[in-house]
Structure 1
Amino acid sequence: MEKDQLLTRRTLLTGVAALGAAGTAGALAAGLGDGPAKPPAPVPAAGPPQRSPLKPSAYRLKPLTGYDAPSAAPRRPPVRSEPILRMTGRGRTMLLTFDDGPHPEYTPEILDTLAEHKVHATFFVCGEMAEWNRDLLARMYDEGHVVGNHTWSHPLLTKLSQRRIRSEMERTSEVVEAAYGEAPRWFRAPYGAWNRDTFQLGAELGMEPLAWTVDTLDWTTPGTGTIVDRVEEGAGPGVVVLSHDAGGNRSQSVRALRRYLPELLDSGYHLTVPRRRLI
């Protein structure tokens, strides 16, 4: 089964490789929107999220979630033409992100390692996984992590209708809000396949698109040492690291985190979570 999933994922990645490369190159060359060439708009860093009271019907009645200022009226984030690739922060600040979970075996091990080193991370969860592991989303909130939307079933969104894309996003946001305590403010397209509809619908649901700077390719199970090397060689201020905590055997990802996390901290890096900008 895992082999079939790997072959399917390789096929999909081949199909979107050109799109991802073009999008990344465009973001790096032209920034995150219209206008003259400029570096991609970074994501500010912040501490743990602040829980707000959950009203049963709040998500359906008010799909546009509020920003950090509690007194501010809910505002829709801008509709971007490229995903955010980097972040800002004082000194050597980085983001660790994990996709496809939560998984009942690997996610708790990752959370344990993060807790041991007092580090916060961002988890882009799939709704069908979150539905069966709501306790892990509650733990993520309690321990100061950020939970983002990675669709319900991890499809190739560029092949879906607007209606299907919205359903994938909405269903996941609903289960995240029910288990985590607030709707997700960040979205990541499966396979890194973005298009106008994903940016538009994500913004309508109150989410910003966050991509990555360093891809560990841990889903290919290249070996623990290779994953460690990719993170350490790609480390730098503003970097967003992509790893996975589900979607297959993630024991290498778990072991790699145990090795590179203390080394990054010893090198002076600050590992944190993104914060919504007021634009």
Structure 2
Amino acid sequence: MTHLLLAFGLIAVLGITPAYRSQVPAPAPRSAVAAKYVYLTFDDGPGPTYTPQVLAILRRYGVKATFFEIGQNVRKYPSVTRKVHLQGHSVQNHTYSHPDLRKVSAATFRSQVQSADRYIRAQTKVQPRCLRPPYGGVNPTVRRRAAALGKTIRLWTVDPRDWSRPGTSIITRRVLSSVRNGSTILLHDGGGNRSQTVAALPTILRTLKARGYTFRLVPC
């Protein structure tokens, strides 16, 4: 009995855990639970009216987004693109003039992408690595040509069709009812009157944050 007590005392002193205790799994730390996140994206900018309004709202809520910009708009409003970049958002390629890339020649495809790259790079000093084909127009040829230019195609999973101006409440409802962990949300800051999108944005951001979502830049 004395030897047994001494053995247990030695175990306690040395901090050795008996083998039978190692079979009980430790509870998973809270940090191991994956955080919920979404990717917020804006197409068809930049523009002098709605892009700055979108930027102001994103700044107010501390949210970063990815802007897929049209090269000819960057050419017209270079300071707006520069502002997008300086505020910590990602600026990526949405072609130069918004054609359906499934319907253009190889030379036109290359020109559309490289021209947009050039104007974006002039304002951000960063080479766009992602391409969002207009209209979501993708086929094997588009994918092959994009890859040859070093571009990763990024589309979306949540489309509230805000470009059709269905109403602020409808845009908000369509986004919030469709979002899942890892969703990519498509909105527009250019290409027409985007006042409904701007009006819907605060509620979208506030609600998603309340649901525990964080916002990430599209990996490019």
- 1:176 matches 2:130: no
Q: Is 1:126–1:150's contact at 8 Å kept on the other side of the alignment?
A: yes
Distance in 2 between the 1:229 and 1:223 partners? Answer: 10
RMSD: 1.3
Specify the alignment match of 1:221 in structure 2: 165
Task: Output the amino acid matched with 2:46.
Answer: P
Distance in 2 between the 1:223 and 1:175 partners? Answer: 33
Specify the alignment match of 1:191 in structure 2: 135
Q: Could you list the runs of 5+ residues in structure 1 that have no partner in the other structure?
A: 1-88
Q: How does 1:216-255 map to 2 (within 5 A)?
A: 216-255=160-199
Q: Which string of whole-angstrom CA distances, capped at 9 and with x for unpartnered residues, describes residues 222-246 of structure 1?
A: 0000000011001110100011111
Distance in 2 between the 1:206 and 1:137 partners? Answer: 22
Distance in 2 between the 1:243 and 1:274 partners? Answer: 14
User: What is the aligned counterpart of 2:201 among 237, 240, 257?
Assistant: 257
Specify the alignment match of 1:144 in structure 2: 88
Task: Output the amino acid matched with 1:120.
Answer: K
Distance in 2 between the 1:242 and 1:221 partners? Answer: 14
Specify the alignment match of 1:153 in structure 2: 97
Q: Is 1:162–1:197's contact at 8 Å kept on the other side of the alignment?
A: no
User: What is the aligned counterpart of 1:115 among 42, 59, 65?
Assistant: 59
Task: Output the amino acid matched with 2:44.
Answer: D
The structure with the largest alpha-carbon Rg is 2
Q: Could you list the runs of 5+ residues in structure 2 that have no partner in the other structure?
A: 1-32
Q: Is 1:231–1:260's contact at 8 Å kept on the other side of the alignment?
A: yes
Q: How does 1:62-73 map to 2 (within 5 A)?
A: none
Q: Which string of whole-angstrom CA distances, capped at 9 and with x for unpartnered residues, describes residues 20-62 of structure 1?
A: xxxxxxxxxxxxxxxxxxxxxxxxxxxxxxxxxxxxxxxxxxx
1:205 CA displacement: 2.4
Distance in 2 between the 1:205 and 1:129 partners? Answer: 22
Deviating more after overlay: 108-117 vs 203-212 = 203-212
Question: What TM-score comes out, normalization by structure 2 length?
Answer: 0.82
Q: Which string of whole-angstrom CA distances, capped at 9 and with x for unpartnered residues, describes residues 176-198 of structure 1?
A: 11111111111101001112332
- 1:95 matches 2:24: no
Q: SS of the residue aligned with 1:258?
A: helix
Kindly tell me the number of residue pairs found equivalent between the two proteins. Answer: 188
Question: What TM-score comes out, normalization by structure 1 length?
Answer: 0.65
Distance in 1 between the 2:107 and 2:140 partners? Answer: 14
1:171 CA displacement: 0.2
**1:251–1:161: structure 2 CA closer, same or farther, 3 Å change rule?**
same
Distance in 1 between the 2:92 and 2:154 partners? Answer: 9
Specify the alignment match of 1:126 in structure 2: 70
User: Share of identical aligned residues, percent?
Assistant: 39
1:143 CA displacement: 1.2
